[in-house]
Chains A and B, each alone.
Chain A
Amino acid sequence: DSGVTQTPKHLITATGQRVTLRCSPRSGDLSVYWYQQSLDQGLQFLIQYYNGEERAKGNILERFSAQQFPDLHSELNLSSLELGDSALYFCASSAIGDSTSPLHFGNGTRLTVT
């Protein structure tokens, strides 16, 4: 058990809808990351937060947004969903959020857009 909690585990929704994915980092970790994993596409970095502030941004679509709250949990909002957004979304956390900190991944949220 990595200590990172993601909810929900599965999400099935229709095109055009909006969903929110939630992540609680490991106790003591200040940085949260969001990654998207599609079939055969590896792990695509979306966004990183550190202690409530955005630290780095990857290939995150404008339809997607995220935030990290004062209690350090994070939410990833996906709107105007398209079929191509179907994927496994991982949250990861690390202690101090620098490039030498190992990432601890949650179990992921599997999003299916129909």
Chain B
Amino acid sequence: GQQVMQIPQYQHVQEGEDFTTYCNSSTTLSNIQWYKQRPGGHPVFLIQLVKSGEVKKQKRLTFQFGEAKKNSSLHITATQTTDVGTYFCAGPQNYGGSQGNLIFGKGTKLSVKP
């Protein structure tokens, strides 16, 4: 079945270092969304990418959608302790379909050492 995979599963960085998580889908996606879940919290929507090759920035966060619309990445520049959490990517169940449910990757858990 359709799968969304994320690597790495865990990442430990020193504060100030950069961090990247990668998301790969087994099928072409019409769009991809990213969420962040703080420890003990709930997932919070960060951003959506729709166009092939799209790049979006939110302060120190840079999101990319691959040309083939099957992969995506999130890069954080100069991590801070506030970046701690699990980052999930999610894509629609069916490409181009009207269904709204999202398939989530297993997430990348980021820890930041001060």
Contact = CB atoms under 8 A, between A and B. Distances in A.
Interface of A: 2, 31, 33, 35, 40-43, 45, 48, 50, 55-56, 58, 90, 92, 94, 96-108
Interface string B19-34: 0000000000011010
B31 A99 contact: yes
Given A97-B100, A99-B98, 9 more contacts: A33-B100, A35-B104, A40-B9, A43-B43, A98-B98, A99-B31, A100-B31, A105-B42, A106-B42
B42 A107 contact: yes
- Taking residues whose C-beta sits less than 8 angstroms from the other chain, chain B's interface range is 20 to 34
Interface in B66-102: 88, 90, 92-93, 97-102
A48 B105 contact: no
A92 B31 CA distance: 19
A94 B97 CA distance: 17
A64 B91 CA distance: 24
22 contacts: A2-B44, A33-B100, A40-B106, A41-B106, A43-B104, A48-B100, A55-B99, A56-B101, A90-B43, A96-B100, A99-B30, A99-B98, A99-B99, A99-B101, A100-B30, A100-B48, A101-B100, A102-B48, A103-B33, A103-B102, A107-B41, A107-B42
B48 A104 contact: no
A2 B33 CA distance: 17
A26 to B, nearest CB: 12
The listed residue with most A CB atoms (<10 A of its CB), out of B9, B35, B88, B101, is B101
B103 interface: yes
Contacts of B35: 103
